[in-house]
Amino acid sequence: MAKPTPGLRLFSTQSGVELIVVKGADGVLTCAGAPMVTQRPAPPVADAGGAAQVQLTKRYADAQSGLLVLCTRAGSGPLALDGRELTMQASQALPSSD
Amino acid sequence: MTVVLPLTLAAESLPERVGVQDTLEALTYAALDRLSGRLASHVRAAGVDCVAMLAQNSVAFPALFFGAAKAGVPFVPMNYRLTDAQLDRQAALLGRALLVTDPATAGRIAPREGLAIIDTRTLIEAVADLPLTDADPDPQSEACWLFTSGTTGEPKTALLSHANLTAYVFGTVDPLSATEDDAVLASVPPYHIAGLVGILSNVFAGRRVVFLDQFSAEHWVDRAASAKVTQAMVVPTMLGRILDVLAARDETLPHLRSLSYGGGRMPTDVIRAALERLPHVGFTNAYGLTETASTITLLSPADHREARLADTPEVRARLGSVGRPLPGIEIEIRKADDSPAAPTERGEIWVRGPQVSGAYRGKGPTLRDGWFNTRDEGWMDAAGYLFLAGRTDDVIVRGGENISPGEIEDTIIAMPEVADVAVVARPDREWGEVPVAFVVLRPGAALAAEAIRSRVRGALRSTRVPAEFLFVAALPYNETGKLLRAELRARLRSAA
């Protein structure tokens, strides 16, 4: 169980969800109820297909701690920090400047 | 977060997609990842402190940038447009370095102790059988050094950490969001901060990067059409020339969806002409500096459309604005006494945020409470749109290249016939700004403009040669002996 620090890649043990931590925080980050891990599970996890889908390229945040994560592979969630469910951020919709 | 992560992600998720290509070859993301890992092993074994590159754009540029990062040393792209003497002074600052050249730059930097000079092709062949080094460096370590000329013409080495370079990318770019058909044309030279950050954001998005080795408007239009380029970034000077070529060929680049520009003053008539010629393209104006790891404000395509069609003068004026700050970036306009300026009031532009470095090699910290002084003058309108008014320190920005008046003045004043000289910027439709020299001759002396012109060309480089020489009886100074450059600039404007 790793503290979510910026740049850390995290993998769900319950679904195919993969994340990058953009802004770190203290606490335990879970996906579908189980703590996320720093190594991709082998063999790949069969996705149980829960209701809460974590979406590719979306950012999820915890307002209380400031945690911000970026989804790099979609799958079933939900994501939570110390039991508080993360909320999906509205797209920044920035045009590319480079 | 480090610059390695975007490549790792693209190589894992889109291994077979072409990631980078130039006129000679194309590399998939997986191939780019492997090549950079092999280069990193070579860099580690060589035991150097940095990887310098004196070469035009090619697939070797991203390979060396990522390779240096994986080896945990900074990447140092050098400006091949400098004179050999200037390059030699920069090479002396590299320490123990691997210096990679291409056929166009080979031999330009003389061998020196600590410097291992190697040609790109030779290096890539030499690493073919090396194992992969895929370490992730410390996010606070230096990811690149960039030489900037600054106010006095004395070269400064700006330092950017992995955290500085990636803050913008991870904060604003949607990873792996590009489609198979997306392609960006990279024509900004590799020694420009926008070239470096462009690689990161496009690799993170999984977008194919098409490199243009050297810019010409014809070449750019050919490549944009043949590679079905969907987006590109140019400096204002490039855009003016591109529009001329498009008009001459009656070409509309139907695949192009977005075009961003920055790095200098964009004349309003040029951007208006661009909006009319390319109605299907979204235009973005980006403002940033080397020390801020590129973009800090953006004028979006919607802002451009709104300003173009607006009835109110305030909104119409925004076509000349650099837009609003990115999320996570704070901007303040400060007056000479350090107090905050009111909306529309002019002052110096200060910036704060995670991508702001403000660190230079061998110098102490320059940030004040996290704030960096851009030394650009400007103002903000009531809606938070930023307008630039010029460089505080009178640097002339010619076609995206910063020119220090001091080095031109030093060259001219060294001529025995010259009593005094000042070089200032004159607005120019093609270049954004060009240098113009005001020259005071000694009593009784005679000197032709052509003689000064050839002297500057011989001592510096062609971009430093003033566009015009105006012979005057005296230069304006204030009571404390400070040259009034603003007055000279005003004279040029009123004469135009």
| Beta carbons within 8 Å of A37's beta carbon, 6+ residues apart | A1, A2, A10, A11, A13
| Beta carbons within 8 Å of B228's beta carbon, 6+ residues apart | B181, B183, B255
Give residue B19's pLDDT. 98
**Beta B142-148 vs B231-234: how paired, if at all?**
unpaired
A94 → closest Cβ in B9, B172, B198: B172
Question: Could you tell me which of A10, B53, B428 has the C-alpha nearest to residue A81?
Answer: A10
Give residue B30's pLDDT. 98
- B495 pLDDT more than 80: no
- A57 pLDDT more than 70: yes
- Given the structure tokens 């173009």, which residue do they identify? B308
Neighbours of B151 (CB within 10 A): 17
For B334, phi and psi rounded to 5 degrees? -115, 140
Question: For residues A5 and B269, which has the higher predicted lDDT (pLDDT)?
Answer: A5
Nearest residue of chain B to residue A5 (CA atoms):
B1
Query: A interface toward B at CB cutoff 8 Å?
Result: 6-7, 9, 20, 22, 56-57, 70, 72-73, 91-92, 94-98
B residues 49-108 near A, CB within 8 Å? none
| Cis peptide, bond prior to residue A78, ω within 30 of zero | yes
- Chain A residue numbers touching B258 (CB-CB < 8 A): 95-96
Q: A90: burial class by Cβ within 10 Å (0-12, 13-18, 19+)?
A: exposed
B residues 310-339 near A, CB within 8 Å? 326-327
Question: Could you tell me which of B92, B115, B96, B86 has the C-alpha nearest to residue B50?
Answer: B96
| Beta carbons within 8 Å of B136's beta carbon, 6+ residues apart | A7, B2, B4, B5, B70
C-alpha A3/C-alpha A6 separation (Å) is 10
- Chain B residue numbers touching A66 (CB-CB < 8 A): none
Q: At what angle do helices B4-13 and B193-205 cross, to 10 degrees?
A: 30
CB contact (8 A) between residue A97 and residue B260: yes
C-alpha B483/C-alpha B121 separation (Å) is 51
Contact with chain A for residue B139, Cβ under 8 A: yes
- Chain A residue numbers touching B172 (CB-CB < 8 A): 92, 94
Burial B125-139 (b: 16+ CB within 10 A, else e): eebeeeeebbebbeb
B170 → closest Cβ in A20, A94, A96: A20
B300 → closest Cβ in A22, A72, A95: A95
Q: A interface mutation test: which of B166, B170, B196, B201 has the most A CBs within 10 A?
A: B170
CB contact (8 A) between residue B258 and residue A96: yes
Give residue B238's pLDDT. 83
Q: CATH 3.40.50.12780: which residues of chain B?
A: 4-318
Give residue B452's pLDDT. 95
C-alpha B285/C-alpha B398 separation (Å) is 17
Q: Residue B269 — very low, low, confident or very high, per pLDDT cuts 50/70/90? A: confident
The predicted-structure confidence for B299-334, as pLDDT tens digits, reads as follows: 999 999 999 999 999 999 999 999 999 988 999 999
Q: Residue B150 — very low, low, confident or very high, per pLDDT cuts 50/70/90? A: very low
Nearest residue of chain A to residue B192 (CA atoms):
A98
B28-32, B215-219, B248-252, B275-279: which is most confident:
B28-32
- Chain A residue numbers touching B197 (CB-CB < 8 A): 98
Q: Residue A12 — very low, low, confident or very high, per pLDDT cuts 50/70/90? A: very high
Q: In this structure, what token pair is assigned to residue A54?
A: 């974590």
Contact with chain A for residue B135, Cβ under 8 A: no
Q: Residue B391 — very low, low, confident or very high, per pLDDT cuts 50/70/90? A: low
C-alpha B5/C-alpha B7 separation (Å) is 5
CB contact (8 A) between residue B233 and residue A97: yes
The predicted-structure confidence for B173-229, as pLDDT tens digits, reads as follows: 888 889 999 999 999 889 989 999 999 999 999 999 999 988 899 999 999 999 999
Where does B396-495 sit in CATH, by number? Answer: 3.30.300.30
CB contact (8 A) between residue A7 and residue B282: no
Quote the minimal CA–CA distance from A85 to chain B in Å: 21
The single-letter code of the amino acid at B393 is D
Q: Residue B149 — very low, low, confident or very high, per pLDDT cuts 50/70/90? A: low
Q: To the nearest whole percent, how much of chain A has pLDDT over 90?
A: 53
Q: Which CATH class is domain B4-318?
A: alpha beta
Quote the minimal CA–CA distance from A91 to chain B in Å: 9
- Chain A residue numbers touching B2 (CB-CB < 8 A): 7
The dihedral through the CA atoms of B128, B131, B136, B138 has a sign that is negative
Q: B interface mutation test: which of A67, A89, A96 has the most B CBs within 10 A?
A: A96
The predicted-structure confidence for A15-37, as pLDDT tens digits, reads as follows: 999 999 988 999 999 999 999 99
Q: Half-sphere exposure (CA, 13 Å, Cβ side) for B206?
A: 19
CB contact (8 A) between residue A92 and residue B170: no
A70 → closest Cβ in B175, B184, B205: B175
Its ipTM equals 0.77
Question: For residues A49 and A92, which has the higher predicted lDDT (pLDDT)?
Answer: A49
| Mean pLDDT calculated for residue range A45-52 | 76
CB contact (8 A) between residue B298 and residue A70: no
Q: To the nearest whole percent, how much of chain A has pLDDT over 70?
A: 95
- Chain B residue numbers touching A55 (CB-CB < 8 A): none
| Mean pLDDT calculated for residue range B279-301 | 95
Give residue B478's pLDDT. 62
CB contact (8 A) between residue B231 and residue A96: yes
- Rounded to 5 degrees, what angle do the CA atoms B69, B75, B77 make? 150
C-alpha B30/C-alpha B58 separation (Å) is 17
Quote the minimal CA–CA distance from A56 to chain B in Å: 8
**A20-29, A45-54, B41-50, B250-259: range with lowest mean pLDDT:** A45-54
- B492 pLDDT more than 70: yes
Contact with chain A for residue B260, Cβ under 8 A: yes
Q: Residue B390 — very low, low, confident or very high, per pLDDT cuts 50/70/90? A: low
- B114 pLDDT more than 80: yes
Nearest residue of chain B to residue A40 (CA atoms):
B12
Q: Residue B151 — very low, low, confident or very high, per pLDDT cuts 50/70/90? A: very low
Nearest residue of chain B to residue A56 (CA atoms):
B175
Give residue B319's pLDDT. 93
- B109 pLDDT more than 50: yes
Q: CATH 3.30.300.30: which residues of chain B?
A: 396-495
Give residue B307's pLDDT. 95
The single-letter code of the amino acid at A1 is M
- The CA–CA distances, whole Å, from A81 to A5, A78, A91, B398 equal 13, 10, 21, 51
The dihedral through the CA atoms of B407, B411, B412, B418 has a sign that is positive
For B314, phi and psi rounded to 5 degrees? -65, -45
- B153 pLDDT more than 60: no
- Chain B residue numbers touching A72 (CB-CB < 8 A): 9, 13, 175-176
C-alpha B355/C-alpha B160 separation (Å) is 9
Q: A interface mutation test: which of B9, B169, B193, B329 has the most A CBs within 10 A?
A: B9
B198 → closest Cβ in A6, A70, A98: A98
- 3-class SS string, chain B: CCCHHHHHHHHHHCCCCEEEECCCCEEEHHHHHHHHHHHHHHHHHHCCCEEEEECCCCCHHHHHHHHHHHHCCCEEECCCCCCHHHHHHHHCCCCCEEEEECCCCCCCCCCCCCEEEEEHHHHHHHCCCCCCCCCCCCCCCEEEEEEECCCCCCCEEEEEEHHHHHHHHHHHCCCCCCCCCCEEEECCCCCCHHHHHHHHHHHHHCCEEEECCCCCHHHHHHHHHHCCCCEEEECHHHHHHHHHHHHHHCCCCCCCCEEEEECCCCCHHHHHHHHHHCCCCEEEEEEEEHHHCEEEEEECHHHHHHHHHCCCHHHHHHHHCCEEECCCCEEEEECCCCCECCCCCCEEEEEECCCCCCEECCCCCCCECCEEEEEEEEEECCCCCEEEEEECCCCEEECCEEECHHHHHHHHHCCCCEEEEEEEEEEECCCEEEEEEEEEECCCCCCCHHHHHHHHHHHCCHHHCCCEEEECCCCCECCCCCECHHHHHHHHHHHC
Give residue B139's pLDDT. 87
- On average, the pLDDT of chain B sits at 91
| Mean pLDDT calculated for residue range B433-462 | 93
- Chain A residue numbers touching B295 (CB-CB < 8 A): 97-98
Quote the minimal CA–CA distance from B210 to chain A in Å: 13
Question: Could you tell me which of B293, B307, B347, B274 has the C-alpha nearest to residue B167?
Answer: B293
C-alpha B341/C-alpha B384 separation (Å) is 12
B295 → closest Cβ in A91, A92, A98: A98
The single-letter code of the amino acid at B294 is S
- B480 pLDDT more than 70: no
